[in-house]
Chain A
Amino acid sequence: MPEAEAGTLVLDCDELEELAGALALGAALPQEVAAAQAHLDGCPRSHTDVYELATVARLLAEAPEPVEPPARLRARILATAREDTAPQDAPSGIRYPVSGGGGPVPGTARAPAPARSSLPRRPVFFLLAAAAALAALALGLWNLQLRGELDQRQERLAAQQRFIDAFAGGGRSVAFAPAPGQEALHGAVVRRAQGPALAVFTALPRPAGSDVYQLWAIRGSTPQDLGVFVPDARGHHIATLPDLTGVDAVAVTLERERVPAPTTAPILTAPL
C-alpha cells in the first residue's frame, strides 16, 4: 500500500475493496480506516460493497442468544439516571468521521470537567414557569452582571493573547475557535518565524478523571492524531506540532483516552 508524504497511508480502489471485510468488522488498523475514509470521500466510484458489508456486520450484534439480564440491572440503570445531573452535551456543528470508541455518541462535544449541579431536579414545566415569572426582574440585573463579566473576559483574553504572541516571535498565530458552550477555552496555533509550529493553550480546565485532550490535524475530513495532553494546574499547555503543510485545521477533542479517531466533536478548532 503506498504511503503518501508525511507517512499518510493511501489506499487505491482495489486495496479498499480487499480491506472491506476487515473495515466492516471493525478489524482494520486505525491508519487504514483513515485512509479508507479519505478514499471514500474522494472516489468517484460508489464502492457499494464496502457500505453493504458494513451493514451486514452491524447485524452481528443481533447474533448472541438473548440472555435475560438480572432485574436489578434495570433498577440500577434507572436509579443512576435519576441521580445523574450532569448536563447533556451540547451538539456541535462541526462534523467529521468519528469512532464510537465506547465513548460518547458521534457528533457530540463532551464538556470538559462537567460541573454537577446540586440543585434538586424539578419538572421542566415548573422551571419554565419560574423562569418566565422572574425574567423581567432578572433581565436588568443580568445585563449589569454580563457587562462586568465581558469586561473581565476581554481583559483575560488580551492577557492570554499577549502570552501567545510572545511565542510567535514574529510569526503568526491563529486562535482556536471554541465550540458553542466552550467559550471559556482559549488557545492558538502559533506558526513561528523559526522552529516548529506550536499549539499553545492558556485556559483549559483539567479534564475530569482520566480524560485527556487530544490534538488532531484535519485534512479534508480526515483527522490525524497529534497526541494527547493534560494542561497544568493553570490551564496551560504547549504542544509542538508537525509540519502543517496541507492541514486545513487543527482541532482538540476531549477523550476518555488516546483514540485512533475522534469519538467526540472538537471543542476547539483552529482553521489554518
Chain B
Amino acid sequence: MATGDGPAVSDPDAALLARLVTRDEAALAELYDRHGRAAHALALRVTGNAETAQDVVQEAFLALWRRGHTYQPERGAVRGWLLTVVRNRAIDALRGSGGQVARVLPVDTLVLAATDNPEAEAMQAVDGRRVRAALAALPPEQRDVVELAYFGGLAYPEVAERMGIPLGTVKSRMRLALERLRGSLRAWERDA
C-alpha cells in the first residue's frame, strides 16, 4: 500500500478515480493496492467472516469501478469514501439481506463536508496507529458504545438494550467518546 497505514494528505486517488471512467484497469489495480488492505481489515472487523469480508471488498471496489465518476471531493478523500462504502456494505452483510430495512444509517448520511474545516481536513491525515491508540485509551464504557455502534452497526437504542443502560447515557457516552478521540488526535497533530 503506497500510503502505508493511513491516508495521504493530498489525494492522488482522485486522479486514479478519474481514470476509471475510461475503464482503466491499471487505475483500479493501483487503487486496490493503495487501499485494499485497509478495506479488507475494516470489512473483516465488521463482519468477522473472511469470505464475507472478501465479498464486501469486491463489491466496494466494483462500486468505484462503476460509479467512480460521481465522487464528490467536497465530501472528503477517496479513501474515506471507499471505507464508508465498505463499512456500509459490511453492516448490510452483518444484518443479512432479507429485505429488512436498515435501521442504522451510515456515517456520511448527513452532508458532513470535512473540507469546510481546515482542522478537520488536517485530521484526515491521521493514520491508523493513532486512531487505534486513541480508541484504546478511551474509558471502557465509552469504547464499548463506539465499537457496538461503529463496528457492530447497532443503533443507539440497540446499544442501550445490549448494555442495559438508559438511552440518554448511550448518547452521552457516544458524544464524550468522540470528543475524547478528537482531543487525542488533535494533540498528536499539534505534536507532529
Contacts and interface: CB of A to CB of B under 8 A. Distances in A.
Contacts of A103: 88
Contact of A101 (B7, B57, B88): B88
B54 to A, nearest CB: 5
Given A24-B178, A51-B114, 5 more contacts: A27-B150, A27-B155, A60-B135, A63-B128, A105-B63
Query: What size tier do the contact residues of chain B reach?
Result: 35 or more
Nearest to A76: B58
A56 B123 contact: yes
Given A60-B150, A102-B88, A108-B70, A36 B101 contact: no
Query: What size tier do the contact residues of chain A reach?
Result: 35 or more
Contacts of A101: 88, 92, 102, 105-106
B54 A69 contact: yes
Contacts of A259: 101-102
B87 A61 contact: yes
A28 B107 contact: no
B176 A21 contact: yes
B57 A69 contact: yes
B5 A33 contact: no
12 contacts: A22-B171, A27-B174, A53-B182, A55-B114, A58-B84, A62-B6, A63-B132, A100-B88, A103-B88, A106-B70, A257-B99, A258-B101
A112 interface: no
Contact of A106 (B72, B101, B176): B72
Contacts of A86: 66
A20 interface: yes
A33 B110 contact: yes
Contacts of B102: 101-102, 257, 259-260
A198 B78 CA distance: 41
B105 A261 contact: yes
Interface string B22-37: 1101001100110011
B38 A61 contact: yes
Contacts of B8: none
Contact of A52 (B100, B117, B151): B117
A79 B73 CA distance: 28
Interface of B: 1, 5-7, 21-23, 25, 28-29, 32-33, 36-38, 40-42, 44-45, 54, 57-58, 61-72, 75-76, 80-81, 83-89, 91-92, 97, 99-114, 116-117, 119-120, 123-124, 126-128, 131-132, 135, 146, 149-151, 153-157, 159, 168, 170-179, 181-182, 185
B128 A66 contact: yes
Contact of B41 (A18, A64, A74, A260): A64
Contact of A84 (B62, B114, B182): B62
A89 B67 contact: yes
Contacts of A99: 88, 105-106, 108-109
Given A26-B106, A58-B107, A68-B37, A73 B57 contact: yes
Contacts of B155: 22, 27-29
B76 A58 contact: yes
A261 B104 CA distance: 11
Nearest to B115: A55
Contacts of B111: 37, 40, 97
A239 B3 CA distance: 50
Contacts of A52: 117, 119-120, 182
A61 B67 contact: no
Interface in A80-95: 80-82, 84, 86, 88-89, 91
Given A60-B135, A104-B63, A21 B174 contact: yes
Given A21-B178, A26-B105, A36-B110, A63 B131 contact: yes
